[in-house]
A and B are shown apart, each in its own frame.
Chain A
Amino acid sequence: MAPMLEQTEVAAPGPVPDPMLPMPYRIQRVRQETDDTFTLEILPEDSSSRFSFAPGQFNMLYVFGVGEVPISISSNPANVPLLKHTTRVVGTVTKAMRKLKRGEVMGIRGPFGSHWPVEDATGRDVVIVAGGIGLAPLRPALYRLMAEREKFRRIVLLYGTRTPDDMLYRRELEQWRGKFDLEIQVTVDRAASTWRGNVGVVTTMIGRAPFDPSNTLAMLCGPEIMMRFTVMELLKRGVAAECIYLSAERNMKCGIGFCGHCQYGPTFVCKDGPVFALPSIAAILGKAEI
């Protein structure tokens, strides 16, 4: 008689986690990044949590009694279950979130959405264009690229902020620049004469950035208008549209494509995005009606 080994090896399916049910996470640290941005470092209360995410995905962060907001995960995917979320203080929930202290508990749902195609960049140059707080959703991709640095050709980060004081992750960028073969060019919109770096919008750096447009994968995140102009410059330089990826932002609520709050043309940003290949949204990018 044949042994029943195969049957006993198949794990019984457990209960499917409810994507609408926030899981409790405890705040380990609140780090002020700039005047109006901060990073929450959180760990799950459930020590057996198997949470994992791909670079570019987001979570819904719930401040109990106040509300829930979508925020991209900005930590190293290899360091789960520790999660980091960087955000700007802009509304009621993020204001309340900024007041949370180490040891307090908040709710997390996720991860949701699509991710940066890091694996597709193997053997290619990688150009990352970030604007303002748009660097946060790109940081996990940078961690992944750095972890497997030998798989990629040139890696270029073009980062634009309003002023030098608005730069995110400054110390980490300096470390990466020194440690890895990584070209980092930072530009600011305006600066005092003491600033020794570039001044001007980030789109102006694309024309002279060191990459081979015929073999490049580009990842963009920042204000939509910045991404539109960045797309134009990348296309002008000769990067193929299908090799350009953007992270869109809309008013995500449920995170699973049910509520429709984040509808973007024929897509839902929470489910089909936030990371889109340019051809899939090129027709609606920048359309006032959408």
Chain B
Amino acid sequence: MIQTLEPILREHPFFQGMEEQHIRLIAGCSKNVRFGAGEVIFREGDSADHFYLIREGLVSVQFVIPHDGLTTVLTVGGGEVLGWSWLFPPYRWHFDARAQQPTHALAFDGKCLRAKCDEDHDLGYDIYKRFIQILNDRLEATRLQLLDVYGTHA
């Protein structure tokens, strides 16, 4: 018997409260994936055709700073979302992502999901609202990081 991913989607915090019909629609665009510790999930400049819901593990979002080397600017763990470049043209990753620990995730096909959002605007509105919340949280966190609050003001 083929087990669908719908129960897993329902349980993931990112899709909490999503309508059943939408869960069914997006389940068709998702698949289970695993990454070993140290494995590269995507690289800066590559085509951003997926996003990931992390179920377990830890992923580092990194980029290279000249003279400093590879620098981690964010980690994404269980219950969180990795990647939004699939939403915006030109659909290219702006950072590298690497599994810090063995990581279990759901990968969503960005093209498939964009097509479904175009067909069903209620679904599209719901998905975009959820991503805007993530963008808001990350922007707020990034501002705090930029403030360097643990410096001499601490």
Contacts and interface: CB of A to CB of B under 8 A. Distances in A.
Given A193-B62, A200-B141, A201-B144, A225 B74 contact: no
B69 interface: yes
Contact of B74 (A200, A203, A226): A200
B152 A199 contact: no
A203 B140 CA distance: 10
Contacts of B79: 208
Interface of B: 13, 58, 60-62, 68-75, 77-80, 98, 100-101, 137, 140-141, 144-145, 147-154
A191 B153 CA distance: 20
A144 interface: no
Contact of B140 (A191, A192, A198, A229): A229
Nearest to B144: A201
B72 A195 contact: yes
Nearest to A232: B140
A166 interface: yes
Given A198-B77, A203-B144, A225-B144, A192 B150 contact: no
A189 interface: yes
B149 A223 contact: yes
A164 B153 CA distance: 18
B141 A203 contact: yes
Given A198-B58, A199-B60, A200-B141, A162 B70 contact: no
Max chain B Cβ within 10 angstroms of own Cβ: one of A134, A187, A190: A190
A200 B144 CA distance: 9
Contact of B144 (A191, A195, A226): A226
A213 interface: no
A115 B37 CA distance: 43
Given A88-B152, A203-B141, A204-B141, 4 more contacts: A162-B151, A196-B101, A199-B60, A225-B144
A196 B62 CA distance: 13
A133 B149 CA distance: 11
A5 interface: no
A90 to B, nearest CB: 6
A25 B141 CA distance: 43
Nearest to A91: B152
A190 B68 CA distance: 12
B150 A199 contact: no
Contacts of B77: 198, 208
Contact of B72 (A162, A191, A204, A223): A191
